[in-house]
């Protein structure tokens, strides 16, 4: 097509130069994008190859033994699940309602601007500062000690802004006319939100919450001083082997300690832990994306 055009309209050198520049820019930018993605695939492939000999069902469901050098990672896996679920129970309702406030109730004034600024800043606080906060506030001041509860609360506050931001975006995508129609038949604000706004934005809210799960599962720094321990033996196969007051192991922390503090660990062990952690996080993330794509395709407006 382009060649036919080129034959009909004689190309000036200027136009040729223009098209060369275009092609060059496209290649450079495409190359940059590829330069970001290729390392990702290579690294995941490499980790999988290295960790493969250890990966098995038994690896996931047994306790570590002989100073973490043998056995599986059951307590770490279970600990991560406990941390994530507890954190979610706190941050999901608070985050969703905070977003409802920002999107449905708040007026456009200086106070709302400050709330927005606070959310942005909360998202930017380094994870290690969250850890210090968790240590100062929950472990010492509130007297929770180093426990799953203290660690989860720290994680919950850390992931709150993610939930607020994604929920707010989901709420904002519900057209105003929906609300107006509902108000016009005499519904109150809350009735409108519960019956019209929330059901219509549930896909976006769900995506945000699931993404928060994946982020929580991977965090290490905030739980280092607030509840995660080097080693803890728990009953195999029992989902309720921990309680909120216990300290726990976590996958991310386990990877860190095995890599840096356990000497003579078998070569594939850290790779296998990394694969399990990465697999968990990416699976949860892929689930969020799938939910979003599915629900978006059903959207009626």
Partner 1 sequence: MEMETTGAQPGPANSGNGVRAPVTRRAQRRGWEQVSEHVIELFIRLCGISAIVFVFAIFFFVFREGAPILPRLDLWKFLFTPYWYPTSLGQARYGVGALILGTLSVTALSMALAVPFGLGAAVFVSEFCGHRTKEALKIVIELLAAIPSVVWGFIGLTVMNVAIQKVFRVQVGLNILNASILLALMSVPVIVSIGEDSLKAVPDSYREAAFALGATQWQIVCRVLLPAAKNGLLAAVLLGVGRAVGETMAVLMATGHAVNIPHSIFDSVRTLTATIAAEMGETAEGSDHYRVLFVIGILLFSITFLMNLAADLVVKGIRKK
Binds partner 1 by CB under 8 A, chosen from 32, 176, 185, 239 = 32
Nearer to partner 1, 122 or 262 (CB): 122
CA 78 and chain centroid, separation: 18
DSSP structural state of residue 11: P
Nearer to partner 1, 25 or 89 (CB): 25
Told to check if 164 binds partner 1 by CB under 8 A, we report yes
Q: How far is the CB of 235 from partner 1 (least distance, A)?
A: 26
Angle value at C-alpha 24, between 21 and 27, nearest 5 degrees: 150
State the virtual CA torsion across 262, 219, 46, 264 in degrees, nearest 10. 0
Told to check if 176 binds partner 1 by CB under 8 A, we report no
CB neighbours of 48 closer than 8 A, spacing ≥ 6?
A: 275
Binds partner 1 by CB under 8 A, chosen from 6, 52, 140, 202 = 140
Told to check if 270 binds partner 1 by CB under 8 A, we report yes
Residue 219 backbone zone (phi > 0: left; psi -120 to 50: alpha; other: beta): beta
Packing angle, helices 268-297 and 74-100, rounded to 10: 30
Tokens of 283: 């699976």
Nearer to partner 1, 64 or 134 (CB): 134
Q: How far is the CB of 137 from partner 1 (least distance, A)?
A: 4
Told to check if 237 binds partner 1 by CB under 8 A, we report no
Told to check if 197 binds partner 1 by CB under 8 A, we report no
Told to check if 286 binds partner 1 by CB under 8 A, we report yes
Please give the residues from 110 up to 139 whose contact with partner 1 meets the rule CB under 8 A.
114-133, 135-137
Tokens of 137: 């506030």
């Amino acid at each position: 097509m382009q060649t036919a055009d080129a034959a009909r309209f004689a190309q000036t050198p200027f136009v040729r130069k223009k098209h060369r520049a275009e092609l060059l820019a496209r290649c450079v930018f495409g190359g940059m994008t590829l330069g970001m993605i290729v390392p990702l695939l290579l690294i995941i492939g490499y980790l999988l190859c290295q960790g493969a000999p250890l990966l098995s069902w038994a690896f996931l469901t047994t306790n570590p033994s002989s100073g973490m050098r043998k056995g599986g990672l059951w307590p770490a896996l279970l600990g991560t699940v406990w941390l994530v679920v507890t954190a979610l129970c706190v941050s999901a309702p608070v985050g969703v309602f905070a977003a409802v406030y920002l999107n449905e109730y708040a007026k456009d004034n200086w106070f709302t601007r400050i709330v927005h600024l606070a959310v942005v800043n909360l998202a930017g606080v380094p994870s290690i500062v969250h850890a210090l906060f968790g240590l100062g506030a929950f472990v010492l001041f509130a007297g929770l000690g180093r426990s799953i509860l203290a660690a989860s609360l720290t994680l919950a506050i850390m992931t709150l802004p993610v939930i607020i931001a994604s929920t707010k975006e989901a709420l904002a995508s519900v057209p105003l006319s929906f609300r107006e129609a509902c108000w016009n038949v005499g519904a109150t604000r809350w009735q409108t939100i519960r019956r019209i706004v929330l059901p219509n934005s549930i896909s976006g809210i769900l995506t945000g919450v699931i993404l928060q799960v994946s982020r929580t599962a991977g965090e290490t720094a905030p739980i280092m001083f607030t509840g995660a321990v080097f080693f803890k033996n728990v009953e195999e196969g029992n989902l309720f082997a921990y309680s909120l007051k216990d300290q726990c192991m976590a996958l991310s922390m386990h990877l860190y300690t095995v890599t840096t503090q356990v000497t003579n660990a078998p070569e594939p062990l850290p790779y296998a832990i990394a694969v399990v952690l990465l697999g968990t996080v990416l699976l949860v993330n892929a689930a969020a994306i799938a939910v979003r794509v599915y629900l978006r395709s059903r959207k009626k407006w």
